[in-house]
Amino acid sequence: MTIFDFELWVFLAGLGIFLFAMHMMEESLRLLSGGAFKSFIRKYTGTNLKAIFSGMFSTAVLQSSSAVSLMVLAFAGAGIMNLTQAIAVMMGAKVGTTATAWIVAVFGFKFNIDAFSLPLIGIGGLGIILLAKSPRYVNISKFLVAFGFLFMGLDYMKNSVDQFSEAIDPAMFADYGVIIFALVGLVMTAVMQSSSATIAIVLTMLFSGVINFQMGAAMVIGANVGTTVTVLLGAIGGMVSKKQAALSQLVFTVSTAIITLLILPLLTWLVLDFLGFDDKLVLGLALFHSIFNIIGVIVFYPFISNLAGFAEKAIPERVIKLSKFIYKTDPSVADAGLEAFRKEIIQQLYYSLKYIHQQFGRTKAANPVNYSDLERYHAEIFEYYTKLVSYEMDEMHTAYIDKLLRASRNIMNAAKNIYELREELEILKRETAPELQKAYQSISGRMKSAYETGMMLEQKEQKTELMSEKVEEFHKLVENEDREFIKMCSTIISSKDFKKVEVTFLLMMNRVITQSNRMLVFAMKNLLEKLYEEEAD
């Protein structure tokens, strides 16, 4: 047997099947969970310890630290999660991702792969065809197929490397040093975008005797750093908070890798000699993977706030006032202050409608509006309101400023409703049933009309009377669509294909959308009222 007898195509086929299986598993689990894991991560991050455990659990189930980290970056960018929480979740994700190594180590090298994987692929494949009408069972079937493929790919890699190992002596690599093996693991993970695939290859090489334990450990350390490439790419061009979270992840991961490499001989002794894994090297490497990530979390846990502070200083966020008119208008001058206040709320309406438009995939602007910006904007408007009312005004001015504030609150509440409904809207958008597609089109169409009507207030050349007519037309559309939507739900509730809970879901969504549109209508009418009086004079 020589090095040239290595069956490259068998190895690549195994690697391809393994990567495909990982992708399929992640996708099926994501669809099965819906927004559950997003809600879980958002909900259980009240303390750093909770955030770490939520990151561990989510990653162990989703089998992808990169997916969880990218989700966290999105939350950080939207202002849903602060930087400290994001760092803690991503630290936990590093521990959670070691679950893959344990699965591969426990099942991949101790059982007859054919007896294990073929039934899963067979049952899952039949399920995809026979249960095609049920998305839930289709995704369960896809998960079974993916789980079977995972071990089939591992078996192909193992068989090809078994032959290769006869011509390779690990001593050949003794002079390269652990740093080189760590870099190899890093590059492999960066290229394949999967630390799980790299670790599966490392475990296979270790099992076949191509590398020794310390070489494999160094490659696993490198793979751990390689996962940050995906996170860094996900932060490019994003909000400052996303870049800060990505930098924190990089610092944590690289620092953990350096600490682990420095104490690698000690950890090797701990796993092989003290814990007795010298004759169970594959399991020992999975244990090593968990131990050094846990060490990283323990070392950095007291310094999570410091790490967040470092990232904020390294990538500072420029605090820019969103207001366009009120920040430069003296509130003590009543007429000027009121006009600036009204114009600012029209601007708030513009940004809020733009944000709502984004949620339906229509706006792909270079500078998208974030919900956190809308909250900050509303706070600036309210702050100016408190300054305005601190000065003496006649009853007419006081009543008008209160009416404008109600318009601002209605606009903010409408945006908040859509923000909280975005996951349900995404689910409805993906539904294929004609009735559900019709429901989505009804909702989407109403919000498009809201956007088009509200944008008219920004156009100074438009006459107030014409704009008022357009708002009234939109109001009638909202009420008519509400009635038609309820009629549609009354019709489909008798269908055997729909459950009552699904109809309730549609009715609740319609109520929120109708409520949001009504608030926008009232806000537009309030904003137009003063303009109409001025033109009449």
pLDDT in tens, 182-201: 888 888 887 776 777 788 88
C-alpha–C-alpha distance, residues 537 and 534, integer Å: 5
**pLDDT above 70 for 238:** no
- Six-digit token string for 123: 């049952």
For 251-278, what is the mean pLDDT? Answer: 91
Tally the C-alpha atoms within 13 A of residue 167's C-alpha that lie toward its C-beta: 11
For 435-443, what is the mean pLDDT? Answer: 88
C-alpha–C-alpha distance, residues 291 and 301, integer Å: 15
For 131-148, what is the mean pLDDT? Answer: 82
**pLDDT above 70 for 237:** no
pTM: 0.54
Q: Which alpha helices (H) appear in 209-328, and where do they start and end?
A: 213-226, 228-235, 240-262, 264-269, 281-300, 304-314
**pLDDT above 70 for 406:** yes
For 343-370, what is the mean pLDDT? Answer: 80
Q: Where in the chain is the domain with CATH 1.20.58.220?
A: 326-536
**pLDDT above 70 for 310:** yes
- For the chain, the first-to-last Cα distance in angstroms comes to 99
**pLDDT above 50 for 532:** no
Instruction: Specify the CATH number of the domain 326-536.
Output: 1.20.58.220
SS3 at position 207:
helix
C-alpha–C-alpha distance, residues 127 and 293, integer Å: 38
Chain mean position to CA 511: 27
What is the DSSP code (8-state) at residue 333? S
Cβ atoms 270, 291 nearer than 8 A: yes
C-alpha–C-alpha distance, residues 230 and 481, integer Å: 44
C-alpha–C-alpha distance, residues 369 and 217, integer Å: 45
Q: What is the pLDDT of residue 162?
A: 53
Tell me whether residue 63 is exposed, middle or buried, using C-beta atoms within 10 angstroms of its C-beta: 0 to 12, 13 to 18, 19 or more.
buried
Q: What is the pLDDT of residue 39?
A: 61
| 333-337, 372-376, 380-384: the lowest-pLDDT one | 333-337
Give the percent of the chain with pLDDT over 90.
19
Cβ atoms 65, 89 nearer than 8 A: no
Predicted confidence band at 413 (pLDDT cuts at 50, 70, 90)? Answer: very high
For 18-28, what is the mean pLDDT? Answer: 73
* Apex 309 CA angle, 303 and 314, nearest 5: 125
**pLDDT above 90 for 259:** yes
Does residue 410 or residue 100 have the better pLDDT?
410
**pLDDT above 90 for 516:** yes
